[in-house]
Structure 1
Amino acid sequence: MLKALFPAALVLALLTSSIPTEKVSSASLPTAKQMVQDMSLDEKIGQMLMPDFRNWQTKDESTPTGFTKMNNEVSHLVEKYHLGGVILFAENVVDTEQTVKLTHEFQKASPNIPLLISIDQEGGIVTRLQKGTHFPGNMSIGASRSKKNAYDTGKIIGKELNALGINTNFSPVLDVNNNPNNPVIGVRSFSSDPALVSRLGLQTMKGLQKEKTISTLKHFPGHGDTAVDSHYGLPLVEHDQDRLKRVELYPFQQAINAGADMVMTAHVQFPAIDDTTYRSKKDGEDIMVPATLSKKVITNLLKEEMGFHGVVVTDALNMKAIADNFGQEEAVVMAIKAGVDIALMPAPVTSLKTEKNLENVFNAVKQAILKKEIPISQINESVEKILQLKIKRGIISSKKPISLEKKIKKATQVVGKKSHLKAEQKMAREGITLLKNNKKTLPFKPKKNDKIVVMAPYEDQTKAMSVTVESLMKQKKIKPVRIQSYAFADKTFTKDTAKLIQEADYVITGSYVVQNDPAVNDGVIDDNVQDPKKWATAFPRAVMKEAAAQNKKMVIMSLRNPYDAANFEEADALLAVYGFKGYSNGQFNQPNIPAGLEVIFGAASPKGKLPVDIPSVTHPNQTLYPFGYGLNLKGKQIK
């Protein structure tokens, strides 16, 4: 057993392991290879599994609820299956002190080898921490072109995760978003330019590593040029190998050369690399094997050709792209056969009644090894890499452990601290990209008691606008005004809506479109405001037209993917902010909307330049706003 390898003091340290803040000394530690030699087969398999306990249903509960506090049932499963790690979600991390206690208890449940405790804290629209610093997101940083912003994002996220006891971050996103219709990446990408993605992604990785947080490049070999969300279906990228090397693979290669810790696979088909077919369990049709399950992608390309010697983790194996087509147990076995080291979310476990799912996966992997379908040498190699990474980042350490009380004290001082929030606000301002400012519409200069109408799809977004306007009044950056808000998701434009605009002096409308609607009529954007499916573009267009008819000053903010700006060619004032999360529970959930409002009222200057091309909606082969385009408030191109 493992304890035989460790001195008594080290065993005690590992029992309450925490991530150290000083340089790790491995002099008194056994090597990863020595540890592997002393492990049972069950212990090795456990290191390669990383389930989630996002929701849990105890014997006394009728349905699963967010798992925020350790219980004997989950603790037992961690120990029973010798788990090497877990992934946390927003349901698990609702409060700073609560999160520290949860991660502390997770580590206590794994007395021999500390866990990888992972999370998707990308910054921007994908953040899990409900308390903390959220950042403007990668595409906003891409618009700022700032390596410092990218590095500081990684460093601050790493510092906050470190304080919470979370040692592994599934970030940075190195997908090159060159498909405007990408439904899942979009603003999670830095840019459509592989060189810019590389430059900024590398800095985020280095920032995370500076704080001893494991960083993860994702989604290999690239999820940027897809029009299908792999949470729901199997995307396909049909480019040839030369193009893949120049675009999709380029950022990954640069980061691998710079010392990447971990790479996450994509559930995407790449026929130029692997066109092997498999009969789908969903419908019996032949489908191409996605990258996650492809030996040609994981072993031949990533490890052998590109020289990656770190840990390979799958994207979540419960996503429909995998679960529906390949089945639970077989998908995990296939992933490991392909060369993956860690199977992420290999089976849904939400209660002891569903433990069988995890048991079946565990046994399927074990049988594949015993039948020599998977060489034990490959398992040993994977586990050695996992343990080596844990040693490298100080997760396995001979340092004296930090008490729970000290962890909580440190976390409450670090997570969401003022300097972090100030940094994210500065970053957001630097990313705001002004696309149009005809007739010197901006900045708005309201007179006392003027009426400002703020509109956006959702109430948290209009709330963020209102709170920001109120803040600008308090700071005396604008004169006292009246504010009226209106959330328009799933609504049609009516006479009452028109009246709001007629009574306003200024109108601010937020547009939120994930994918531009291809439904156009003879080159004219569909303005059917009575079609409830069209509200996302039709409603703000109706507002824009009414404001123009009434000669009201009006601006449109593109809140998510900047491509939706193409729906509003006729707007006099238009800007992209790259982030849609608003204001709730007394806090801004992203700094983007406030930064946009500051530009609108002249309290900040727009400094961003588009990190992508924005094609026309009515003429898709034409570029409406090119990469690098961005105006200052005087209407001149920013250099």
Structure 2
Amino acid sequence: MLYKTFKSTTLGLAAGLFGSFCLWAGVAAADGKFSDLAHARWAEDSIQYLSNRGTVAGLGNGRFQPDGAVTRGQAVTFIMRELYSQGLPKGEASFTDVPRSHPFRLEIAAAAAAGLAGGFPDGSFHPDAPVTRAETAALLTRAYALEAGDGSSKLADTSSSWAAAPIGIMSSNGLIGGYADGTYRPDRTVTRAEFAVFLTRVIRFERETAIQAKDWDKLLSYMTLNEQVGQMLMPDIRMWNGQPTTTVNDGLKDIIHTQAPGGFILFDKNIVNAQQVATLTDRLQAEAGDIPLFLGVDQEGGVIKRIPGGTNLPGQMALGAAGDAALTEAAGKLTGEELKALGLQLNFAPDLDVNSNPENPIIGMRSFGSDPDLVSRLGLAAMKGLKEAGVIAAVKHFPGHGDTTVDSHLGLPVLMHDRDRLEAVELKPFRAAIASGVDMIMTAHIAFPAVDDEHVVSLKDGSSVPIPATMSKKVLTGLLREELGFKGVIVSDAFTMNGIAAHFGEAQAVVRAVSAGVDIILMPQDPSTAQRTLVQAVRNGSVPLDHIHDAVKRILDLKSRYGLFDQGPSLPAKLASLKGIIGSDAHRQVERTIAERAVTLLAGRDGKHPDLIRHGDRIVIAAADEAQAKQLENQLALEGEPEQLKTRVATLNQPKEAIAAIDGADYVIVASYQFRNVASQFDWSGTQAVIDELNRTNTRYALLSLGNPYEMLYVRNVKSGLAAYGKEEPNTEAAVRTLLGRMDPLGVLPVAS
């Protein structure tokens, strides 16, 4: 007999071994899609599933031969590849008809050693004989220690079979079915296609059982190493063959099925409108199978936003100026509601960087401000709002990006502060977030010598460069995990940024980041290379397998806690709900309230108000570019009395023309926008020239700060000025209403100036 009686002690042995199974990539490499499945479409999904797992490799030349019989040797090999892909149990094939030259000798010997297969009384195994349906049920039931399910088994011809018990167990769990006449035909030979379907059903059944029980160790035992590492990768899909990715194309499907990424980050190029992005996320999840995708986005509000047609919140520094935790929580909640309606469950926000350096070229008004207590208080409120809406908050950029003069998208910043200063400023909001149970923290591509002074050789120019936090075990494991006690998921900042990309090769960077403590690599430059590199690192011992398991369990647990495994509403139901959520009247009202509460007086002749626009004024708008000037002109027309307001536009980068344009004006709006550059290196000359001329002629005006609100540090003798913290509606609407005297500037400048 190939299989011993069902109640033999080998069942107990298989069950005992089960807990230690840890699936790596299959012994046999998958050959990709097979060309001979035209008449086996019913089994194609199962065959491809096992091929992707490395369990079946076909017969070469792209053929699978689905109608061919499964031999006893092949059946054992398929099972052993699934159960012992990290290394077969030691055993020697003592069967008389399994010579050393037999292609499945090792698997047959291992199966015999594990008690999963036995031979015939004459010492033979018959490795090339076909397997029956009864033998298949017995082998799968024993190998996976299956127990009876809640279903009934009413197969007409199995009661007298030697395999009646395992057939009944398989049937009661819905893993096998009979023919139209109610029979199972246990002695019938099983084809390769049928065996693939049976095996796939069992694997998926066991995975689903583990998911329902939240038994992540068990689920890991059914995940290949490729799958496990895939969970730790979160690529972007902005472009596909030179075109924006707005639908799920065949190439993207193939990546999901073969690389099993843990999620994707979406950008504005992926998003056309609410209906389209809700459809895109729904289709992505449909392709993902039993482990859902993290689908994330940077929706900070203000200058960093991705959702067209959604509520355009004024931004974090506007919230800092308003200083209201309840309003910040409302902003977080409405952001979460809109993201969740679109199928996005992860927001890379809020930004917990303390923007203590006016020269910072990348954070600026993305921060709540320069006071660590304010950043902590409002950061916790934003986190709370997102969580109330069922969206994961990924706070950033640990240990702090607020006091740098280098943009980590372009280079590698180094923060030279000592540990006491880091504790007092940079780390304070992150400590507060961890104490409040934050679920995910994003790392910074910044070096912190006070925590880790290691240097490595740059691949860019051979120089010695400090190790960034993303790749530092002292920062991520020593400081974040062990000292601060963070138990959640650590996600890196984008690996396409030059803080990483310019100095470290993809292979070195990925391995070092994961070894340091990163759970998710965000936007690897080449996802397939990153995946192969990590798989190889595990196999050669560079990265311990337990390290991968710990990371994947944190990821799976977070997905479960936020309901990603749960059955959501249908796509039609999702689409029908969008109109009442995305940019709803209630959300717009919160947006307007924040913008109005944020407007801050920078300078006023009476100390309370800027110079105000009067009825019938001839107004000139001088801005950084004509588009900005036109936007403000349109805003004035909407808010004012168009027939009474006579407006002209000028640009500040042409000071002589701007000064000529303001000649004869009754009122001038000097619109300043400084962001994504070092403030002291910004060309303030045009702004200064116009301000000097307005002061000389005693013309009423307002310097209107639409970006980082540091103008008062660089522009002298400003008599009237406002900060709006954003160059679009609703920020500009609130600013114009203030200049028209319809509201007072209520905000408090949230940064030192």
When normalised by structure 2's length, the TM-score is: 0.71
Tell me if 1:442 matches 2:610.
Answer: yes
Indicate the larger mover: 497-506 or 331-340.
497-506
Q: 1:260 and 1:571 mapped to 2: Cα distance?
A: 42
Three-state SS of the structure 1 residue aligned to 2:288 is coil
Counterpart in 2 of 1:492?
Answer: 654
Match for residue 502 of structure 1 among 663, 667, 671:
663
Three-state SS of the structure 2 residue aligned to 1:607 is coil
Letter of the aligned partner of 1:500 in structure 2?
A
Letter of the aligned partner of 1:38 in structure 2?
Y
Asked if structure 2 preserves the Cα contact closer than 8 Å seen for 1:265 and 1:292, the reply is yes
Shift of 1:195: 0.9
Aligned 1:535-614 pairs, distance under 5 A? 537-580=684-727, 582=728, 588=729, 591-614=730-753
Aligned 1:166-205 pairs, distance under 5 A? 166-205=344-383
Match for residue 417 of structure 2 among 219, 225, 239:
239
Three-state SS of the structure 1 residue aligned to 2:269 is coil
Counterpart in 1 of 2:549?
Answer: 380
Counterpart in 1 of 2:559?
Answer: 390
Asked if structure 1 preserves the Cα contact closer than 8 Å seen for 2:358 and 2:679, the reply is no
Counterpart in 2 of 1:451?
Answer: 618
Shift of 1:107: 0.8
Q: 2:174 and 2:447 mapped to 1: Cα distance?
A: 49
User: Over alpha carbons, which structure has the higher Rg?
Assistant: 2
Letter of the aligned partner of 2:733 in structure 1?
P
Aligned 1:527-542 pairs, distance under 5 A? 534=683, 537-542=684-689
Shift of 1:573: 0.3
Letter of the aligned partner of 1:208 in structure 2?
L
Asked if structure 2 preserves the Cα contact closer than 8 Å seen for 1:123 and 1:153, the reply is no
Aligned 1:91-170 pairs, distance under 5 A? 91-170=269-348
Three-state SS of the structure 1 residue aligned to 2:246 is coil
Three-state SS of the structure 1 residue aligned to 2:693 is helix
Asked if structure 2 preserves the Cα contact closer than 8 Å seen for 1:94 and 1:131, the reply is no
CA-to-aligned-CA distance 1:450-498 (integer Å, 9 cap, x gap)? 3211221134422331222112236xxx98312222344xx3222x433
Q: 2:402 and 2:306 mapped to 1: Cα distance?
A: 22
Three-state SS of the structure 2 residue aligned to 1:374 is coil
Indicate the larger mover: 247-256 or 559-568.
559-568
Counterpart in 2 of 1:249?
Answer: 427
Counterpart in 2 of 1:622?
Answer: none
CA-to-aligned-CA distance 1:564-610 (integer Å, 9 cap, x gap)? 23233312201111113x3xxxxx3xx21221111111111111111
Tell me if 1:470 matches 2:632.
Answer: no
Aligned 1:55-74 pairs, distance under 5 A? 55-57=239-241, 64-74=242-252
Counterpart in 2 of 1:35?
Answer: 219
CA-to-aligned-CA distance 1:394-453 (integer Å, 9 cap, x gap)? 1112x4x311111111123211112211211110111111021116873524223x3211
Indicate the larger mover: 128-137 or 294-303.
128-137
Asked if structure 1 preserves the Cα contact closer than 8 Å seen for 2:359 and 2:680, the reply is no
- Judging changes above 3 Å, is the alpha-carbon distance between structure 1 residues 467 and 419 closer, same or farther for their aligned structure 2 residues? farther
Aligned 1:210-229 pairs, distance under 5 A? 210-229=388-407
Q: 1:291 and 1:567 mapped to 2: Cα distance?
A: 32
Asked if structure 1 preserves the Cα contact closer than 8 Å seen for 2:605 and 2:611, the reply is no
Letter of the aligned partner of 2:542 in structure 1?
E
Q: 1:442 and 1:76 mapped to 2: Cα distance?
A: 59
Q: 1:518 and 1:208 mapped to 2: Cα distance?
A: 36
Counterpart in 2 of 1:263?
Answer: 441
Counterpart in 1 of 2:109?
Answer: none
When normalised by structure 1's length, the TM-score is: 0.83
Number of aligned pairs? 554
Asked if structure 2 preserves the Cα contact closer than 8 Å seen for 1:230 and 1:321, the reply is yes
Counterpart in 2 of 1:354?
Answer: none
Indicate the larger mover: 48-57 or 456-465.
456-465
Asked if structure 1 preserves the Cα contact closer than 8 Å seen for 2:613 and 2:739, the reply is no
Asked if structure 1 preserves the Cα contact closer than 8 Å seen for 2:650 and 2:661, the reply is no
Match for residue 286 of structure 1 among 464, 471, 486:
464
- Judging changes above 3 Å, is the alpha-carbon distance between structure 1 residues 66 and 423 closer, same or farther for their aligned structure 2 residues? same
Three-state SS of the structure 1 residue aligned to 2:394 is strand
Which ranges of structure 1 fall in alignment gaps of 5 or more residues?
Answer: 16-25, 58-63, 348-356, 520-532, 583-587, 615-639
CA-to-aligned-CA distance 1:314-347 (integer Å, 9 cap, x gap)? 0001101101100112211111011110000012
Indicate the larger mover: 433-442 or 149-158.
433-442
Q: Greater relative contact order (Cα 8 A, min sep 6): structure 1 or 2?
A: 1
CA-to-aligned-CA distance 1:127-148 (integer Å, 9 cap, x gap)? 1112211211111111111001
Asked if structure 1 preserves the Cα contact closer than 8 Å seen for 2:451 and 2:474, the reply is yes
> Identical aligned pairs, as a percentage?
39
Q: 1:462 and 1:308 mapped to 2: Cα distance?
A: 47
Q: 1:116 and 1:40 mapped to 2: Cα distance?
A: 19
Three-state SS of the structure 2 residue aligned to 1:181 is coil
Q: 1:293 and 1:323 mapped to 2: Cα distance?
A: 12
Shift of 1:251: 0.6
Q: 1:362 and 1:289 mapped to 2: Cα distance?
A: 22
Q: 2:660 and 2:352 mapped to 1: Cα distance?
A: 46
Q: 2:392 and 2:625 mapped to 1: Cα distance?
A: 35
Letter of the aligned partner of 2:226 in structure 1?
D
